[in-house]
Amino acid sequence: MSATATDSLVVAPQWIGDAVMTEPLLRRLHARGERLTVGALPWVAPVYRAMPQVHEVIEFPFAHGGLQLRARRALGRELQGRFDAAYVLPNSAKSALLPLLAGIPRRVGYLGEARVGLLTHRLKNPKGKPPMVAFYSALSGATGVEGDRPRLQLKAGEADATLRAFDLSQRGYYVFAPGAEYGPAKRWPPGHYGALALQLDAPVVLLGSAKEAPLCEEIAAHAPGKCLVLAGKTSLAQAFALIASARAVVSNDSGLMHVAAAFAVKQVALFGSSSPLHTPPLNEAAHVIWLKQDPAYVPSLDCAPCFERECPLGHLRCLNDIRPERVLSILQ
């Protein structure tokens, strides 16, 4: 690292999938000599510890939601004089406050929520819902970012230690990530997951947050003896290791879908209310199923993508009609 390296603070998004999709941006910044410190909420911080280009991770002491101005001012005072530049990845006004309060002279981000006075270098928000990886990478100022692909890297020995902890073997199991924080309109039915598990030739590890443990238990009840429910029982770093070591991953459009893609694991990604044109798993080993794009599926899904948390029409055809046998045919 050059003695004249730029010290940069990256203000991270608050969702795991979004954090994964910022990796190519950070790789670009690091390659041009910027020493990167990422500020992230605690549940997102482990994503950045799986990026070797990140020099330091600071866990923000902020709760989800709310301005929390006093805490931002206190942290801003602690960070005074440390950074030459800041990249503000969320579009909210409050996320741009910390770099201003820390006196960081160059502050880069997208326009949004009256941030004109908070940012010194502002990009216009593209119309519609653009591919998110390129959206983040554009903050580097580089062109040709459309081909960027996120990559994550485990620390030495992390996979082996995790496999030993849960009595699993490398490529000896499948991973299902059946949750989706956004809402039910992004979740393949538990019965479908269970039916698929029964037909696979290896055990299935069910991953997710503690809130998703009941959903995972329901799936396991549909496939007696086939599933190991680890939702809420792993750290995020352990979940990464289990995904990276799996034979294949089946998931909804979720943060763990992007994790699997960044580890280049074979995967099947099931899309319902959202769109793979906006947040695809960028992995050559990924297979996306989205009935909206299936010419053989009739009647066509004119309602998709609706981007709603729950199906506004009450039928959830976009996910209910993806049969377990179709997913099985890809995994075999």
332 residues of the chain, pLDDT tens digit each = 444 679 999 999 999 999 999 999 999 999 999 999 999 999 999 999 999 999 999 999 987 777 889 999 999 999 999 999 999 999 988 999 999 999 999 999 999 767 888 999 999 988 888 899 999 999 999 999 999 999 999 999 999 999 999 999 999 999 999 998 888 999 999 999 999 999 999 999 999 999 999 999 999 999 999 999 999 999 999 999 999 999 999 999 999 999 999 999 999 999 999 999 999 999 999 999 999 999 999 999 999 999 999 999 999 999 999 999 999 999 99
Amino acid, single-letter form, for residue 43 = W
Residue 291, both tokens: 């009935």
pTM of the predicted structure, to 2 decimals: 0.94
Instruction: Please provide residue 17's backbone torsions phi and psi, each rounded to the nearest 5 degrees.
Output: -60, -45
Name, in order, each residue with C-beta under 8 angstroms of 100's C-beta and a sequence gap of 6 or more: 76, 107, 118
Name, in order, each residue with C-beta under 8 angstroms of 157's C-beta and a sequence gap of 6 or more: none
In terms of Cβ atoms closer than 10 Å to its own Cβ (0-12, 13-18, 19+), residue 29 is buried
pLDDT tens figures, 120-167: 999 998 888 889 999 999 999 999 999 999 999 999 999 999 999 999
